[in-house]
Chains A and B, each alone.
Chain A
């Protein structure tokens, strides 16, 4: 893990996103991301984990302004992008790139590998066409795609090759940070490992920071420096990866991390499981979002929404009850 005194490459402050759902009668509000804050430093990998629908993709889409956030701020290398007019965003996209989950739909079906990689080079650099051609071949080599694929259309490539091309496209402008939204989820299990190793190697060589969204906790544990655990639009626990994986504090993290839904809570060695299903993010009630599913909930949980509290160092969890249990000396 690299920590630097320079401003973080990505600084997310109170990011908030609501979707208005038009229905019969009054409009209802779906809170997809609720006041989320975190930072990513140069060369760091921060993982974002959590159940489907917890708002991970929405965070990535708000950071790139593919989706406009409702409120909050996003700073890329210290520059706020939220109020930036969209024609100025092109400068930001030189530092900030994204790899999409599904390369089948994120690559233009009518553009060859060459044309796909030429586009960012043409728009962001003043390279001559000869220099661009050279750079395209370098990029292909960097992602282990052989030269003879240069004139292929996406449908003439395999799934893994397509995702390599998607990664090369993101790398073309030498960004400081890449958002990876489940970059291997659409791929065959056999090629997932290769893509992860490629991403690790690119990071080592270039010092890029990653926001890594994934359901694969094994990979998260292996490649990320920090992990953010999301539940219904909020971060419920965050900290150094090993720390969170070995000492999960929040009941939700504990249930997420255990292969079976049976976990140990704090030092009480009590086996618990979350009851019921993830509730709807529409018209969220006051209090902790886990109330009703949480085995250790108290009456206070239903009224006050817990905020992130320090566990140790930069490890924080949004559950006062579990934190109290942590402090109980072992007997």
Chain B
């Protein structure tokens, strides 16, 4: 059967690594993101690696008008439709402290924008009765903390949305995977102090594909973050509120 992956936030290195793998696996690829010139290069890369077709379209989480084209392009693809959402933005917490209006954009990029897009694609996927949604959240969404709680709360919202979507789409044979990456070696983390156990985007992409195959609900990548977060989530609040992590 024809398989298509819609890859949202396609300019990130994680998305690029994922796009390559599904392209080599023979899937059609629809790349959606903000830097069209860059995505055109990735589109060609995907075609040359084995995607029977690849497209690059504009997507801006803050401009729902840009979702139309994605939905139209998805509808004309035969067969199984899959979506992987890699978007999100994390301004410095200090920048948000000086300009709280930045909160709106962070939430649009990391939660409400992708949620709206998924909501619009959901009926099509239900109709096809197959396929997978991958939503990339973050370990930051598991507990609010000093250094990035706005980003964290947006991702927490996204996690909850994905859980609900899983509940809904599961009834029609569509699976939803929630992904919580720890530190990944991307442009976002390059040169940031305090990074440890950083995962390569390629190994994250491998984990995603494994999760799709095994129909996992929520995964941490790399896997040991499940245990790091288990500990972090179990620190009593009266202690946690004094920590600086």
Q: Do A and B interact with each other, yes or no?
A: no
B residues at A contact (CB < 8 Å) = none
